[in-house]
Structures are given as structure tokens and as C-alpha cells.
Amino acid sequence: MCLGVPMQVLEAEGPAAAWCLGREGRALVDLTLVGPQPPGTWLLTFVGAAREVMSEEAAQRTRAALDALAAVMAGDTSTLDEAFADIVSREPQLPEHLRRKETKP
């Protein structure tokens, strides 16, 4: 499974890279897909590259989910409901582009 990790921009490193801070510390992140971003911006990163700009709220939700995943992997399930509060009480939904199109007879 591939997981994106939220990172916050600290400072630009030329037009296509920035030093960012995430759960594993500082890292140089490629900004080619999202363009230059000012300090404080949250990015969803994967394998050293920013994939999308995200809100602080979305970054915090994602961080909580990653923390819960790490806890589960360590055998602790006590934080699951809190970490996944936005999905725990509803049936999962497919993204629009994956839903079957209904055809009229």
C-alpha cells in the first residue's frame, strides 16, 4: 500500500524544491507537480515529491490516521475511532470516477 505523508514547507530551495518538515524530520521535497509554495503550506508527499497542496485540517487528519496505523501495527487499537472519526460511522463510498454508471433501458 502506498501512503502519502503530510509535510509543511519551511523554506524554498530554488523554484522546484523546498525544505519541509514532517513526521520523520526535515526533507528536501520536489515541487514540480505543485509549483512553488510559500512557507507554512501543507503538502501531501510521496517518495520525496509533493503530490498536492492540502489544508492544515486535512494534514492533521492524515497525520492522525498515520499515527493510528502505526499504533495498530504496534498492537494498540485504542485510538482507531478517534483517528478515523470521519469514516468510522458510515459506509465507505467509491470515488465518483469509480462508480458504475447507470444505463437507462
- Over residues 4-30, the pLDDT tens digits come to 999 999 999 999 999 999 999 999 999
Q: How far apart are CA 39 and CA 42, in angstroms?
A: 9
Q: Which CATH number fits domain 5-83: 2.40.30.20, 3.30.230.70, 2.30.30.140, 1.10.760.10?
A: 2.30.30.140
Domain range list for the chain: 5-83
Confidence band of 49 (pLDDT split at 50, 70, 90): very high
pLDDT at 21: 98
Q: How far apart are CA 58 and CA 33, in angstroms?
A: 19
Confidence band of 68 (pLDDT split at 50, 70, 90): confident
Other CB atoms within 10 A of residue 72 CB: 14
Check whether 55 has a pLDDT greater than 90: yes
Model pTM? 0.75
